[in-house]
Amino acid sequence: MSTIEKAMGELRHTSPKSNAAEALKSSADVLSGAESQPAVTKIEGKKEPFKDSSRIIPINNSLLESLGMINNGSNESERQIKDEFRLIKHKLLKKAFTPEEGHKPSANKRNLIMVSSPNMNEGKTFVSINLALSIASEQDKTVLLIDADVLSPSIGDTLGFDNDMPGLTDYLLGNVGDLSDIIYPTTVPDFRVMPAGSSNNMSYELLSSGKMAALMEEIASRYSDRIILLDCPPLLGVVETVTLSNLVGQAIVVVEQNKTKLGDIKQAVALLNSEIDTGFVINKAVQTAGHGYGYGYGYGYGSKDNKK
């Protein structure tokens, strides 16, 4: 039994916040070493005009492929990773857009989803970007990916754009007045990005401010079809992430198969706001796949109010 399976089993019996279901498992080969080419990704053929083409972030298809991410490829690995993230996103979308009795979906803030991990280098940014790409392929949904890891931003490095672009911290500091100035369209239709912004030593004060809370409320309710993903810092030892869990409706905790310790998983989940729905993504779940071994992604899901 793997570390995460043990964790899910124990948390299901000991924590009211995470009745996580048994993780899904499938294999997906991770591609590496492919040389980046100046190609542009367009997923599912949707089209959307942009007024200012200079602000559009180009998403490089070859770069995505080299990183083992969702792209326009047609090989078996590409199909597998698409299928796995479809399974994850459908659970998230169902929660986000199914209203509780007497409430609109936006009132539950479940379209605000944070992605974190107990520790560094467990795959949270990889999961965040793939989820964003997968959600963008939906015919009636848009997705905004926010780099909320203002201490160590990595979305720009991963996708190949300048991390110095005005972003979240600049808006919170008042250096950028219009929210639209820090939301950038990409060459993937219905996929938007908000960079972390300028480095600042007051990250906790900014992310816990009333302006941050107001920002989350605004972007959660402005577009009824939008999912907002926040790529957050790790949970353990970073107070900013715990603060952010009070602003969202769902949380994804990314754990690495056979690396993340059971105690770290339990400690990380205990730090989250007990009122939000919490799910797990297993990263690098190695298993036999008929003709060899691959890397897969499992998903377990649960919440405080889900007793079944």
pLDDT at 40 > cutoff 70: no
What is the mean pLDDT of the segment spanning 152-164? 90
Domain 3-100+111-302 has CATH 1.10.10.10: no
pLDDT at 31 > cutoff 60: no
Give the Cα separation of 73 and 130 in Å (integer): 14
Percent of the chain at pLDDT > 90 equals 53
In the structure, what pLDDT confidence band is assigned to residue 227 with cuts at 50, 70 and 90? very high
Q: What value does the mean pLDDT of the chain take?
A: 78
State residue 80's pLDDT score: 87
Answer for the pair 108, 151: CB distance below 8 angstroms, yes or no.
no
Angle between the N-to-C axes of helices 3-14 and 262-271, in degrees from 0 to 180, rounded to the nearest 10: 40
Give the Cα separation of 79 and 167 in Å (integer): 33
**Which secondary structure element, helix H or strand E, spans residue 172, and what is its range?**
helix 168-173
308's CB contacts (< 8 A; 6+ apart) are 19
Answer for the pair 172, 117: CB distance below 8 angstroms, yes or no.
no
Fill in the amino acid letter for 114: M
State residue 25's pLDDT score: 32
State residue 115's pLDDT score: 97
Whole-angstrom CA distances from 14 to 5, 18, 300, 305 are 14, 9, 16, 14
Give the Cα separation of 147 and 194 in Å (integer): 6
Fill in the amino acid letter for 263: G
State residue 79's pLDDT score: 87
Percent of the chain at pLDDT > 70 equals 72
Residue 47: CB atoms within 10 A of its CB come to 6
pLDDT at 172 > cutoff 70: yes
pLDDT at 163 > cutoff 80: no
What is the mean pLDDT of the segment spanning 75-84? 86
Give the Cα separation of 281 and 39 in Å (integer): 30
What is the DSSP track for 148-179?
Answer: --TTS--HHHHHTS-TTSS-HHHHHHTS---G
In the structure, what pLDDT confidence band is assigned to residue 6 with cuts at 50, 70 and 90? low
Q: What is the pLDDT of residues 106-125, one digit of tens each?
A: 457 899 999 999 999 999 99
Q: How many CA atoms lie within 13 A of 255 on its CB side?
A: 32
In the structure, what pLDDT confidence band is assigned to residue 51 with cuts at 50, 70 and 90? low
State residue 200's pLDDT score: 84
For 95, the token pair is 């929660």
What is residue 214's three-state secondary structure?
helix
What residues does each domain of the chain span?
A: 3-100+111-302
Q: What is the pLDDT of residues 243-295, one digit of tens each?
A: 999 999 999 999 988 889 999 999 999 999 988 999 999 887 654 333 332 33
As a whole number of Å, the end-to-end CA separation of the chain is: 23
Q: What is the pLDDT of residues 92-109, one digit of tens each?
A: 999 998 876 555 554 578
